[in-house]
Amino acid sequence: MKYKQLFFYTAVLLIGLLSISILKATTVNSISTYTPVFKVIGDVANPLSINSYPEAISTKLQHKGTALSAIPLKLLLEDSQPASDFYDIYIKGSDGLMAMVHSSTIEESYIAFSEENGWEAIQLKHPISSNIKHIQEIIIKVEGESWDTGFNIISSEENLASYSIGELLTNGHTLQYYSEGTSRVADENKGYETTVYTTRRVLELSRLYQHSASDGILVIGSKGEETFFSNEGYLQLMDNSITYSTISREKRIDNVKGLVINPTIGRTTDAYYDSLHYLEQGNKVMLLFLDGFGYHQYQLAKAEGYAPFISSLPEASKVMTVYQPVTNAGFAAMITGKTPEENGVYSRQQKDMLMESIFGKATALGKKNALVEGNIKILNTETEPILNLDSDNSGTTDEEVFSSAMALLQVDYDFMLVHFHGIDDRGHSYGDTDTRTLNQIQQVDEYVRQLSRLWDGKIIIISDHGMHETDEGGSHGTLRYQDMFVPYIVYDGGEGQ
């Protein structure tokens, strides 16, 4: 009996000890399975939130006598899709310590995790000070100009400043606390309340651009959203973009592309309202659409004698097109009178408008109308375009568009839109101010003269966007003054031309 009791107590003791061991093991394992998150942000297309990495791409290495499983920093950063092949890498720890290395020197740089140091940079070729512990974020900052991908500030006269997101994340913002609301509870004797705040990376305009209180500042979003910067509005840095918001959050624009300081009153959307007004008054209207003809090109062509007929007309108004300054968006704005945020066409990908265009309005008014196009259909309009191929292989459809338009003048049309593509074609190939582009402007100027002489009604000359110079020729589609401002002329056609 004594041995049975002894055996029983021993078994209970062993089971208890085993249970404690299992409990301890479970507790340790539950703690060790928690891994903090760090981010890869800045000038990247694909921001990352990292709390683990696939074993298949990890590397075994020895560091300070300890065997570690780590991921090559180069592989990690490639997954974030940096905006350039050459960039600075800022590795920031949770204690605020930050080290910078360059993308060309990370062949033996790794990121590893341990319970002691959290996410840690292990850089075998760099000084030991680069081995940041408890990594909170890695910020990518590209080298060189950022006009194609950055946050741009322009006026109607010049490009003022451009900042990459990485540049602003590393130097250019302040941290501010914003109240997210107050909660209250009460018992019989006392009330309790808590106010919750979030930390935001805020851009102060004074650090980006020295503006005056009288400046009008237009905020432009990636999908053509527009709003004037209000006194209660602010710009907030996100992982790889900028957001504009009012304190009340009644207005918010994600992925802000930049600011326009004191934009012109006139817009390319005026073409819709002017055309509709003249049609309702019983006038015939011809809209001459000179693709890719920026206001600075208009000024140069006039000054150097490449636009003799257009130079004889009333001085063009400088008007602002919409973002993105590409054909689909600019065309949709001029024939609907609405910005991309409203008409739904904000890039080259959209063809369907969310509202009736001037062609539908003209048809509803009983006006006969025509759309003379190049070799492709740009938008789905109520009136089917008359397409024209480059039959003479000149590299542009302008001669064919002109001939087609001249033939239509023999028919009694009330509204015609004639779309010349040649200036844009030459600009892409050779540059916005190249002699060959200016020669095309001169050719289109002559087409405009002949059409104007035969048109008994109102004529509007307009463009969808301008163009800026590149190493390869010319381009457009970014928030630059060359792309965003175009000429706008209204005059009377007829035999007197």
Q: How would DSSP label each residue in 284-350?
A: -EEEEEETT--HHHHHHHHHTTS-HHHHHSSPPEEEE--SS-SHHHHHHHHHHSS-HHHHS--STT-
Is 3 part of a structural domain of the chain?
no
Q: Are residues 183 and 60 in the same domain?
A: no
Q: Residue 497 — pLDDT band, cuts 50, 70, 90?
A: low
Q: Are residues 97 and 219 in the same domain?
A: no
- For residue 189, what pLDDT is reported? 81
Residue with tokens 């059409």: 451
Q: Are residues 356 and 276 in the same domain?
A: yes
Distances (CA, A) of 444 to 301, 308, 325, 424: 12, 11, 21, 11
Residue 286 near residue 451, CB atoms below 8 Å: yes
Mean pLDDT of the chain: 91
Is 319 part of a structural domain of the chain?
yes
Q: Are residues 321 and 413 in the same domain?
A: yes
Question: What's the token pair of residue 256?
Answer: 């802000």
- For residue 33, what pLDDT is reported? 57
Q: Which contiguous run of DSSP H or E holds residue 175? A: strand 174-186
Q: Are residues 115 and 165 in the same domain?
A: no
Q: Is 300 exposed, middle or buried (0-12, 13-18, 19+ CB in 10 A)?
A: middle
Dihedral angle, C-alpha 394, 397, 401, 402, nearest 10 °: -30
Q: What is the percentage of the chain residues whose pLDDT exceeds 90? A: 77
Q: Are residues 75 and 204 in the same domain?
A: no
What is the domain-level CATH number for residue 76?
3.90.420.10
- For residue 229, what pLDDT is reported? 93
Across the range 152-157, mean pLDDT stands at 96
Q: Are residues 481 and 381 in the same domain?
A: yes
What would the pLDDT profile of 65-118 be if each residue is shown by its tens digit? 777 889 999 999 999 999 999 999 999 999 999 999 999 999 999 999 988 899
Beta-ladder partners of 119: 113
- For residue 51, what pLDDT is reported? 87
Residue 192 near residue 185, CB atoms below 8 Å: yes
Is 357 part of a structural domain of the chain?
yes
Q: How would DSSP label each residue in 244-293?
A: EEETT-SSEESSEEEEEES--S-BTTHHHHHHHHHHHTT--EEEEEETT-
Q: Are residues 242 and 355 in the same domain?
A: no
- For residue 155, what pLDDT is reported? 96
Is 218 part of a structural domain of the chain?
yes
Dihedral angle, C-alpha 264, 330, 417, 298, nearest 10 °: 50
Which positions ≥6 away from 161 have C-beta within 8 Å?
Answer: 152, 153, 208, 209
Q: 261 — alpha (psi -120 to 50), left (phi > 0) or beta?
A: beta
- For residue 332, what pLDDT is reported? 98
Question: What's the token pair of residue 457?
Answer: 């009604």
- For residue 205, what pLDDT is reported? 87
Q: Are residues 161 and 257 in the same domain?
A: yes
State how far Cα 273 lies from the chain centre: 28
Is 29 part of a structural domain of the chain?
no
Q: Residue 146 — pLDDT band, cuts 50, 70, 90?
A: confident
pLDDT for residue 130 is more than 60: yes
Question: What's the token pair of residue 345?
Answer: 């066409």
Q: Residue 460 — pLDDT band, cuts 50, 70, 90?
A: very high
Which positions ≥6 away from 297 have C-beta within 8 Å?
Answer: 423, 427, 432, 433, 437, 438, 441, 466, 467
Across the range 134-161, mean pLDDT stands at 94
What would the pLDDT profile of 188-217 be if each residue is shown by its tens digit? 788 889 999 989 999 988 888 888 888 999
What would the pLDDT profile of 11-29 be if each residue is shown by its tens digit? 444 444 444 443 333 333 3
Q: Are residues 245 and 276 in the same domain?
A: no
Is 190 part of a structural domain of the chain?
yes
Q: Is 237 exposed, middle or buried (0-12, 13-18, 19+ CB in 10 A)?
A: buried
Query: Whats the size of the chain, residue-wise?
Result: 497
State the Cα–Cα distance between residues 192 and 235, nearest whole angstrom.
33
Q: Residue 247 — pLDDT band, cuts 50, 70, 90?
A: confident
Which residue, of 234, 261, 288, is where some domain finishes?
A: 261
What would the pLDDT profile of 402-416 be if each residue is shown by its tens digit? 999 999 999 999 999
Is 297 part of a structural domain of the chain?
yes
Which residue, of 115, 142, 169, is where some domain finishes?
A: 142
Beta-ladder partners of 181: 196
User: Among residues 162, 113, 173, 184, which one has the least CA distance to residue 139?
Assistant: 173
Which positions ≥6 away from 133 have C-beta within 8 Å?
Answer: 93, 117, 118, 120, 121
Name all contacts of 52-57 with Cβ < 8 Å and 24+ positions apart: 53/111
Q: Residue 232 — pLDDT band, cuts 50, 70, 90?
A: confident
Q: Which contiguous run of DSSP H or E holds residue 440? A: helix 435-454
Instruction: Show the domain range for 46.
Output: 38-142
Which positions ≥6 away from 395 have C-beta within 8 Å?
Answer: 425, 426, 429
Which residue, of 218, 235, 261, is where some domain finishes?
A: 261
What would the pLDDT profile of 300-323 be if each residue is shown by its tens digit? 999 999 999 999 999 999 999 999
- For residue 495, what pLDDT is reported? 57
What would the pLDDT profile of 252-297 be if each residue is shown by its tens digit? 999 999 999 999 999 999 999 999 999 999 999 999 999 999 999 9
Q: Are residues 211 and 243 in the same domain?
A: yes
Domain count, the chain: 3
Q: Are residues 138 and 155 in the same domain?
A: no
Is 30 part of a structural domain of the chain?
no
Cα four-point dihedral sign 298, 434, 445, 374: negative
Across the range 357-386, mean pLDDT stands at 98
Q: Residue 5 — pLDDT band, cuts 50, 70, 90?
A: low
State the Cα–Cα distance between residues 224 and 220, nearest whole angstrom.
6
Across the range 430-447, mean pLDDT stands at 98
- Name the packing angle between helices 435-454 and 422-430 (round to 10°): 180
